[in-house]
């Protein structure tokens, strides 16, 4: 009986690890140090924000391949490079930026094909994307522009303030009826469907960082690194630090 229980625990553990693999995503956090005259830090994490899980080097952080990253300002697109740390990837950006704000985007497209058939996902090629806004002006409670340079799947803010409005794009087109998850800083999550224009509106109930996350399964077969897949599983996030919760 004890052996059977041990086997059952092992199988449950393996199932949890396997399901965890498909639940992970990338997100960006920004730490401003302008008051100290130092560069702001951009940090990219891999794991599950709502579970307070950040993978570490020597473990599953090593699954993350080459990260392509850039900032977009009125002056144009600037490529940036991240350095691998213990539990994240990090880059400094200049403390003094042009007036306005910078859009930071990353993508990781080198992940090998995964067979997740037993989870009803199929044999897929995972791709990851993440976006944030680095504010360089005191007030962003105005309409924000959608960047011309977009990742394949992306969440972009239209307005940031008491009410947050974001829009989901896939291949440069708005993505309606997408299931978008909003993850709050305390572990609370809420699923909201985008409307016919690909947009959702959300009033954050707490201060702190929020991660907006969406998955889109592109049912187009192909081949990557000599391995065939049935579809591409795109996963994107947008991160924003709410200074004041909605009343």
pLDDT in single tens digits along all 247 residues of the chain: 545 444 444 444 444 444 445 699 999 998 765 555 566 789 999 999 999 999 999 999 999 999 999 998 877 899 999 999 999 999 987 655 556 688 999 999 999 999 999 999 999 999 999 999 887 554 566 678 899 899 999 999 999 888 999 999 999 999 999 999 999 999 999 999 999 999 999 999 999 999 999 999 999 999 999 999 999 999 999 999 998 887 5
**Alpha carbons 237 and 154: distance in angstroms, whole number:** 7
What residues pair up with 103 in beta bridges, in sequence order?
72, 133
In this structure, the strands spanning 76-80 and 68-73 are: antiparallel
**Alpha carbons 20 and 228: distance in angstroms, whole number:** 23
pLDDT at 34: 59
**Alpha carbons 155 and 136: distance in angstroms, whole number:** 20
Burial class for 172, CB neighbours closer than 10 Å (0-12, 13-18, 19+)? exposed
Q: What is the dihedral of CA 139, 143, 147, 152, to 10 degrees?
A: 110
Identify the DSSP state of 35: G
pLDDT at 40: 76
3-class DSSP state of 178:
coil
How many other β-carbons are positioned within 10 Å of the β-carbon of residue 178? 21
**Alpha carbons 206 and 246: distance in angstroms, whole number:** 7
**Alpha carbons 176 and 78: distance in angstroms, whole number:** 30
Could you tell me the sign of the dihedral formed by the alpha carbons of 68, 135, 143, 179, in that order?
positive
Q: What is the dihedral of CA 108, 69, 235, 115, to 10 degrees?
A: 0
In angstroms and rounded to an integer, the radius of gyration of the C-alpha atoms of the chain is 19
- Return the exposure string of 42-55: e unless at least 16 CB atoms fall within 10 Å of the residue's CB, then b: bbbbbbbbbeeebb
| Entry field: residues in the chain | 247
3-class DSSP state of 18:
helix
- The whole model's pTM is what? 0.88
Tally the C-alpha atoms within 13 A of residue 210's C-alpha that lie toward its C-beta: 27
């Amino acid at each position: 009986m004890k052996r059977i229980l041990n086997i059952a625990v092992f199988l449950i553990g393996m199932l949890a690890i396997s399901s965890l693999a498909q639940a992970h995503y990338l997100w960006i956090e920004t730490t401003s140090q302008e008051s100290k005259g130092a560069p702001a830090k951009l940090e990219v994490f891999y794991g599950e924000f709502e579970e307070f899980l950040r993978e570490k080097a020597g473990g599953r952080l090593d699954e993350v391949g080459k990260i392509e990253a850039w900032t977009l300002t009125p002056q144009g697109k600037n490529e940036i490079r991240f350095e691998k740390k213990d539990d994240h990837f990090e880059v400094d950006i200049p403390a003094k930026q042009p007036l306005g704000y910078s859009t930071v985007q990353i993508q990781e497209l080198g992940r090998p094909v995964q067979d997740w058939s037993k989870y009803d996902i199929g044999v897929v090629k995972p791709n990851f994307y993440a976006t944030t806004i680095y504010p360089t002006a005191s007030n962003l409670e105005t309409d924000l522009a959608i960047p011309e340079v977009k990742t394949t799947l992306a969440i972009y803010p239209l307005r940031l303030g008491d009410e947050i409005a974001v829009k989901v794009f896939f291949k440069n087109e708005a993505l309606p009826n997408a299931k978008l998850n909003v993850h709050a800083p305390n572990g609370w999550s809420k699923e909201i469907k985008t409307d016919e224009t690909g947009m959702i509106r959300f009033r954050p109930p707490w201060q702190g960082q929020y991660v907006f996350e969406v998955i889109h399964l592109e049912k187009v077969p192909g081949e990557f690194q000599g391995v065939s897949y049935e579809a591409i599983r795109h996963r994107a996030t947008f991160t924003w630090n709410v200074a004041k919760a909605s009343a």
